[in-house]
Structure 1
Amino acid sequence: MKNADIRALSVEELKNQIKTEQTSGQSLRFAHAISPLENPIRLKHSRKNVARLKTELTRRENEQANQTAK
């Protein structure tokens, strides 16, 4: 998922996407523990996507807090 796509999501969609990515990442880790994945780089991409989503969510929450503080 690209940053432009992430910025287009609403807060609720971000939260749902984070949950989905975490679940898929967890299933990838379990599958990799049982037998090696064909493409283990998918684990790395999954972690990075979760980090990108969480960063955008935090940025929006901070923005909202700054606006209400003024």
Structure 2
Amino acid sequence: MKIAEIKEMTTSDLVERVEAEVANYNQMVLNHSISPLDNPAQIKQLRRTIARMKTVLRERELNNK
């Protein structure tokens, strides 16, 4: 997911999406520890997407103060 797409989302949608992606990430890491994923680079990509979303949320929080 690109940063432009993330910035277009509303704050409430973004919060829900972060929670869903974190749950997905945790499940993916657990599955990878049991049996290797076909593409382990997905874990890295998902972690960075979560970081981008959290960064946008933090920017919005600081701009509202």
TM-score past 0.5 threshold: yes
Aligned length: 65
Corresponding residue for residue 61 of structure 1: 61
Unaligned residue ranges in structure 1 (runs of 5+): 66-70
TM-score using structure 2 length: 0.97
Per the normalisation by structure 1, the TM-score is: 0.90
Q: Which runs of 4+ in 1 moved over 2 A?
A: none
| Bigger radius of gyration among the two | 1
Correspondences of 1:1-70 after superposition (within 5 Å): 1-65=1-65
CA distance in 1, matches of 2:9, 2:19: 14
Q: CA RMSD in A?
A: 0.5
Share of identical aligned residues, percent? Answer: 34
